[in-house]
Amino acid sequence: MAFTRRTLLGGAAALSAAPIIRARAQSRPKIVIGVLTDLSGTYRDNTGPTSLAATQLAVEEMRPHVDFDVEVISADHQNKPDVAASITRQWFDQGVDVAADVPTSSVALAVAQVAREKDKIMLNASATVAALTDEQCSPNTIVWSFDTYENARSTGGSLMSQGFKSWYFVTANYAFGISLETLTAEVVKQGGGEVKGAVRYPFPDTTDFSSTSPRRKRVAHPCWGSRWRGSTRRMRSRPRPSSA
């Protein structure tokens, strides 16, 4: 059988391509995790760089045990739902597989919608609004955190059982605070207690809470429930329950 120049060149080209085809077939798949967090605002202290470092540490610990590569990237959502949604949409369009951490409940709700729209994953480790597992529950959202329903039932229920029946709420005016106030008020009323009043303040800009004091609102001896998280988080203050 005679071999033409074209046949020989074609055969050589096929042989030279064979190792490349094998290399591609044997290449390891890769997933990309985007840590979308607060790197500059009120949640920086308890999420932010710590969440990013924890994610990187988890990846390094698991690397010997998985047959794929993992890349970790990060971005600052500035505690703004529109900024977070824009970053997440851009990430997912560029091939990022997971948006992780996502503190600030209003931000997490926005990111969850984008994850569902793009059929990607949000690993929520920080936001705690109950809507993520209730009215906005999604197969694309995994929650690794307590939520406001649990907090309302455990803390609110415990205080009610100790006799704290009269409540006044000082609430951060965003998704987390409003959700926790609403759910705790339900617990109070179901237990026969009374909500004497509530005030909502801009978050995180408010630093002077003197005008929100129950005394200034002329509410006698309430259980003062304050609702916020982050670097300004404080314990709730409360008087002794009345014997009545």
**Distance (Å, whole) CA 18 – CA 107:** 49
- Find the helix packing angle between 105-118 and 175-190, rounded to 10°: 110
User: Sign of the C-alpha dihedral, residues 147, 153, 159, 164?
Assistant: positive
Local structure of 124: helix, strand or coil: strand
Higher pLDDT, 186 or 147: 186
> Hey, what CATH topology would domain 148-227 get?
Rossmann fold (3.40.50)
pTM of the model: 0.71
pLDDT (average), residues 32-37: 98
Q: Is 224 exposed, middle or buried (0-12, 13-18, 19+ CB in 10 A)?
A: buried
Q: How many CB atoms lie within 10 A of CB 160?
A: 20
Topology alike, domains 30-143 and 148-227: yes
Residue 52: pLDDT band by 50, 70, 90 thresholds?
very high
Q: Which amino acid is it at 25?
A: A
- Reply yes or no on domain 30-143 having CATH 3.90.550.10: no
Q: How many CB atoms lie within 10 A of CB 124?
A: 25
| pLDDT digits 0-9 by tens, 75-90 | 999 999 999 999 999 9
Q: Which amino acid is it at 185?
A: A
Residue 43: pLDDT band by 50, 70, 90 thresholds?
confident
Show me where the domains of the chain are located.
Answer: 30-143, 148-227
Q: How many residues does the chain have?
A: 244
- pLDDT above 70: percentage of residues in the chain: 73
Which pLDDT belongs to residue 240? 41
Which pLDDT belongs to residue 230? 45
Q: Which of 3-7, 34-38, 167-171, 176-180 has the lowest mean pLDDT?
A: 3-7
pLDDT (average), residues 157-175: 89
